[in-house]
Chains A and B, each alone.
Chain A
Amino acid sequence: MGELYLPLTERMENMSGHITTEPDRILVSRKPNIFREMIRSKEAYGFILIPLILLIVFSLIPMLYGFFMSFTNWNGLQSPKYIGIENYTNILQSKDFHKALMNTVKFSIVSLAAGMGVALILALGIDKLTRLQNFFKVTYFIPVITPMVVVSLVWSLIYNEKGLLNYFIGVMGIEPVGWLTDKKIAMYSIIFTSVWQGMGFSMIIFLAALQKIPEHLYEAAKIDGAGGFKSFWNVTFPGLKDTFAFLLIYGVIGAFNVFDQIYVMTAGGPVKSTETIVFQIFTNFRYLKLGYTSALSYIFLFMLLIISLIQFKLIYKKEE
């Protein structure tokens, strides 16, 4: 087994060594000489060198840099002074941070639940189609390829006080609503737009999973006398379990990073009712509160790491 992992040139050496019937030489050449092997692998290192440098310079160093910045009161003008964990305690006690955290969590939960629900219904429908399946798949996917800024601009127009949506509810006899200006409603308007943009994505993933469920399971369920709902619950649903888990984790990370819609549609308002964590990082940075922003970034990083660790565990469990 170990032999398989030797470089091919070495394996050939071994072979030639075997031909000259010098078993001792084979053992010697197999003895790991790490430096010799590293020099021999210089081509391989060349292949990964640039990504490695980019990673260190543009990910790792900023991360360390941010870590040190987060313990200072740096404001970009005077030289930074060490202030211990003051930034962290300030953030954790700050009402604005609580608000942003709640908004982010609200955005994530509602947009994921609604998005996955709608996507599953669409996928179940499209899966049953005998004709035009590809047409529906492709057309429902169009919002996904629409840039988020464009999506936000279009919906800003639709949500306008005098806009299309208020016209439609007016026809039904409902008073106009401040879709983006009422602090109780603005976040839900943004969520609705995000669901509209993202549901085609989840639909495609669900559809792929649905088409992997073997037909004979449904037939077996039918023979056992299971009706539509029962066969959904006992065959379809278990078949989609992994997909659910995956979309959930993937979606949570995406939702936590939400920025574009907020920046274009409400700029965090009204009265900070749509301010999320990333948006707060952005605005604090604009006020040059660099130490504070770095600490905020670190808290954000920590939250996402926990989510990612859960994801890692799920993937590994699947591979085993």
Chain B
Amino acid sequence: MGEFRKKKIQLFFIYLFLSAGLILNLAPLAWMLSTSFKPGSEVFRFPPKWIPDSLELVNYKKVFSMIPFERYYLNSILSALLITFITVLLCMMAGYAFAKMKFPGRNILFMFFLITLMIPFQATMIPLFRMVSSFGWIDTFQGLIIPQISTAFGIFLVRQFMLSMPDAILEAAQIDGCSEMRKFWHIVVPMNGSVMATLAIFTFNTAWNNLLWPLLVTNSEKMRTLPVGMALFKSSRDIDWTAIMAGSVMSLIPMIILFLLMQKQFIRGITAGAVKE
């Protein structure tokens, strides 16, 4: 009985500690949300008012008139979706080939992909930029998108996953005279939906957040993505914190919605980089 009580008290303190931590953890985001509804004169007025007087959307409208926010949004959505779609498709195909097809040079080619995993983008981006600019791709969608399609990690992830796929069903299809392409679309893709979702979320999240490459490769306002647009918005001369916070809320919202709808897949997708087995 004594031990049971002790355990209960211990558990109570764990809940207390974690709840306090949770409040601290969410406070910055709450501050962002509450500032986004305040009039400019109240941003630095203390004691802090966490719940704004009114839920007026003045600041939200202001963002659209101060910067071409809808254009940034469109660019971000379009580029992140395209990058994700192409990356997932390419990685599924190549991952399948490396896992289930036999061909000369397979191991060497796979090692080659693995080794390039070690090259950080930040180390090659300057020569890459010079090359992309010699293609005439600066400030274009292809310049924004194509260099962001990196397949090495995805191929590795998909291959590991597909290794455990039973051979029998593939061989049966082979005997039935299925071409590789048909097998891929009708058997491999439907059977590997979960790794596809993991990779899609991982890729989308990376592309949606990417600042460095879009910052290098875009010049004009109409090509900027959300991270670039928002970062440069802050460095403009008169910082309008309420508008910046409203813009921040709007760039966070799609991620939050997706996350709350698919928590499990999201957590798996974003941590996919660290659980490389």
With contacts A65-B131, A201-B271, A305-B118 known, is A142 near B259, CB below 8 A?
A: yes
B37 is an interface residue with CB less than 8 A from chain A: no
Contact with B along A14-54 (1 / 0, CB 8 A): 00000000000000000000100110010111011011101
Q: Spot the interface stretch: A81-89, A93-101, A178-186, A296-304.
A: A296-304
Contact A153 B245 (CB under 8 A): yes
With contacts A130-B11, A153-B248, A260-B211 known, is A5 near B118, CB below 8 A?
A: no
A144 is an interface residue with CB less than 8 A from chain B: yes
Contact A129 B14 (CB under 8 A): yes
Q: How far is the CB of B221 from chain A (nearest CB, A)?
A: 17
Contact A264 B97 (CB under 8 A): no
Partner pick for A149 among B25, B123, B211, CB 8 A cutoff:
B211
Contact B155 A154 (CB under 8 A): no
Q: Which of A51, A63, A125, A297 neighbours the largest number of chain B CB atoms within 10 Å of its CB? A: A51
B22 nearest CB neighbor, chain A only? A139
Partner pick for A204 among B112, B130, B251, B267, CB 8 A cutoff:
B267
Contact B127 A304 (CB under 8 A): no
Q: How far is the CB of B23 from chain A (nearest CB, A)?
A: 10
A315 is an interface residue with CB less than 8 A from chain B: yes
Partner pick for B18 among A51, A136, A150, CB 8 A cutoff:
A136
Contact A308 B118 (CB under 8 A): yes
With contacts A47-B93, A145-B266 known, is A247 near B274, CB below 8 A?
A: yes
Contact A150 B230 (CB under 8 A): yes
Contact B155 A158 (CB under 8 A): no
Q: Spot the interface stretch: B51-59, B61-69, B144-152, B189-197.
A: B144-152
Q: Which of A45, A150, A205 neighbours the largest number of chain B CB atoms within 10 Å of its CB? A: A150
B234 is an interface residue with CB less than 8 A from chain A: yes
B89 nearest CB neighbor, chain A only? A50
Q: In the complex, what distance in Å separates the CA atom of A47 from the CA atom of B89? A: 10
- B100-159 at interface with A (beta carbon < 8 Å): 101-106, 109, 112-113, 116-131, 146-147, 149-152, 155
Contact A59 B124 (CB under 8 A): yes
Contact with B along A154-184 (1 / 0, CB 8 A): 1111101011100100000000000000000
With contacts A48-B94, A264-B234, A298-B123 known, is A154 near B113, CB below 8 A?
A: no
Contact A158 B31 (CB under 8 A): yes
- B62-91 at interface with A (beta carbon < 8 Å): 90-91
Q: In the complex, what distance in Å separates the CA atom of A297 from the CA atom of B212? A: 15
Q: In the complex, what distance in Å separates the CA atom of A155 from the CA atom of B241? A: 12
Contact B28 A196 (CB under 8 A): yes
Contact B209 A205 (CB under 8 A): no
Q: How far is the CB of B265 from chain A (nearest CB, A)?
A: 12
Chain A neighbourhood of B181, CB < 8 A:
43
Q: How far is the CB of B62 from chain A (nearest CB, A)?
A: 16
Q: How far is the CB of A62 from chain B (nearest CB, A)?
A: 4
Contact A138 B263 (CB under 8 A): yes
B218 is an interface residue with CB less than 8 A from chain A: no
Q: How far is the CB of B201 from chain A (nearest CB, A)?
A: 10
Contact with B along A295-319 (1 / 0, CB 8 A): 0011011001100110010010010
Contact B122 A300 (CB under 8 A): yes
Contact B97 A47 (CB under 8 A): yes
Question: 24 A-B pairs, CB-CB below 8 angstroms?
Answer: A44-B101, A48-B109, A50-B90, A55-B151, A59-B116, A62-B131, A66-B124, A129-B18, A145-B259, A147-B251, A149-B211, A152-B231, A153-B245, A155-B28, A196-B25, A205-B275, A247-B274, A250-B274, A253-B120, A257-B121, A264-B231, A294-B127, A300-B122, A300-B123
- Residues of chain A touching chain B, judged by Cβ–Cβ distance below 8 Å, are 5-9, 34, 37-38, 41, 43-45, 47-48, 50-52, 54-55, 58-63, 65-66, 69, 122, 125-126, 128-130, 132, 134, 136-158, 160, 162-164, 167, 196, 201, 204-205, 208, 246-247, 250, 253, 256-257, 259-260, 263-264, 267, 278, 281-282, 285, 290, 293-294, 297-298, 300-301, 304-305, 308-309, 312, 315, 318
- Residues of chain B touching chain A, judged by Cβ–Cβ distance below 8 Å, are 10-11, 14-15, 17-18, 21-22, 25-26, 28-29, 31-32, 35, 43-44, 46-48, 90-91, 93-94, 96-98, 101-106, 109, 112-113, 116-131, 146-147, 149-152, 155, 171, 174, 179-181, 184, 205, 208-209, 211-212, 215-216, 226-227, 230-231, 234-235, 241, 244-245, 248, 251-252, 255-256, 259-260, 263, 266-267, 270-271, 273-277
Q: 20 additional contacts, CB 8 Å, given A147-B255, A164-B31, A304-B118? A: A41-B101, A43-B180, A45-B103, A47-B184, A59-B119, A63-B119, A145-B259, A148-B227, A149-B227, A149-B231, A157-B244, A162-B44, A167-B48, A205-B271, A257-B122, A290-B126, A297-B125, A301-B124, A308-B117, A315-B276
Closest 8 pairs between A and B when the two form their complex, measured CB to CB: A41-B103, A66-B127, A47-B97, A301-B123, A308-B118, A62-B127, A44-B103, A149-B227
